[in-house]
């Protein structure tokens, strides 16, 4: 893992993501790429210096953004972390996804206010868009503990074969991050299974797709998200990993994904990994 992208708007939650990204970069010796998006009333790249003076508010905002990006790069340099900055004008989400692909980004770290509720899903955010559509893992950070650590991570899985390839990706990521993976199955009333059946299905799945030995943990809960959060708290885990199927924005409008609901339910970092297609 060589490059970590950190999209930032310099807000408090974005600053938490920045700090977490610094922590990860030092842990795995990765480069940080700080990206800021600024919307301008016209195509700024086509303006002359004289024409820029016609938009003093935009000019001031751009100068402020460059200053903040420079501060992040200097902070990285002072901690011996390789980094660079990118400023994008009049962005669309597609541009960020294209940037991730073109720059061969390995991981994205983003902040979120984590507002839980229907209104939040109607409005949508860049963070949720990245969680749904990113081809690389996305870590969503809300708040930071007093001491940053990443030693234990819960991975919630339904043991479905279509997630097998992605489960291997999760294992590879955890190996790079030097994290212990705790495998969890949440048994809900809607999809209730007896314990012996869960263990049998889980063993078959892990035998086929896992590269390491894993103990299967089971928790009963009315909702998958609540079970995951309760188990993560009980085991004092440092984060939660979820394989997402990348629902469209329209689908999310009616039925937000488990990973997005988790952002609203827990303060722990969420690692969202989109299910790979066979």
Res. 259: pLDDT tops 50: yes
Local confidence band at 264 (pLDDT 50, 70, 90 cut-offs)? confident
Distance of CA 226 to the CA centre of its chain: 19
**Residue range 256-277: mean pLDDT, rounded:** 84
- For 146-278, the fitting CATH number among 1.20.140.10, 3.20.20.150, 3.40.50.620, 1.10.8.10 is 3.40.50.620
Please state whether beta strands 138-141 and 270-274 pair in parallel, antiparallel, or not at all (unpaired).
antiparallel
Q: Detail the DSSP E strand segments found in the chain.
A: 3-7, 31-38, 83-89, 107-111, 138-141, 152-156, 180-187, 216-220, 240-244, 270-274
Q: Could you give the C-alpha distances from 163 to 53, 81, 173, in angstroms and in order?
A: 53, 34, 15
Local confidence band at 214 (pLDDT 50, 70, 90 cut-offs)? very high
CATH no. for 1-111: 3.40.50.620
d(CA 10, CA 57): 18
Give tens-digit pLDDT for 150-190: 999 999 999 999 899 999 999 999 999 999 999 999 999 99
Give tens-digit pLDDT for 42-56: 887 788 888 888 888
d(CA 235, CA 182): 9
Q: In the chain, where are the structural domains located?
A: 1-111, 146-278
pTM above 0.85, yes or no: yes
């Amino acid at each position: 893992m060589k490059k970590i992208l950190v999209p930032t708007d310099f807000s408090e939650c974005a600053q938490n993501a920045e700090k977490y990204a610094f922590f990860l970069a030092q842990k795995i010796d990765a480069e940080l790429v700080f990206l800021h998006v600024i919307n301008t009333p016209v195509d700024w790249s086509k303006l002359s210096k004289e024409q820029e003076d016609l938009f003093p508010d935009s000019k001031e905002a751009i100068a402020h953004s460059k200053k903040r990006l420079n501060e992040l790069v200097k902070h990285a340099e002072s901690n011996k972390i390789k980094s660079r900055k990118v400023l994008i004008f009049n962005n669309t989400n597609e541009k960020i996804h294209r940037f991730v692909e073109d720059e061969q980004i390995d991981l994205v770290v983003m902040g979120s206010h984590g507002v839980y509720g229907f209104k939040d899903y109607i409005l949508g955010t860049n963070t949720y868009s990245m969680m749904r559509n990113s081809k690389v893992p996305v870590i969503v950070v809300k708040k930071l503990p007093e001491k940053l650590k990443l030693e234990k991570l819960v991975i919630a899985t339904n043991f479905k074969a279509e997630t097998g390839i992605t489960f291997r990706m999760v294992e590879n990521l955890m190996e790079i991050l030097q994290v212990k993976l705790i495998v969890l199955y949440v048994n809900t009333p809607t999809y209730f299974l007896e314990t012996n059946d869960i263990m049998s299905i889980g063993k078959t799945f892990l035998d086929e797709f896992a590269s390491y030995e894993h103990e299967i943990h089971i928790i009963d809960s009315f909702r998958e998200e609540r079970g995951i959060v309760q188990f993560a708290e009980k085991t004092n885990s440092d984060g939660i990993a979820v394989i997402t199927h990348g629902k469209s924005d329209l689908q999310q409008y009616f039925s937000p994904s488990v990973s997005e609901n988790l952002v609203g339910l827990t303060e722990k970092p969420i690692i969202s990994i989109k299910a790979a297609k066979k």
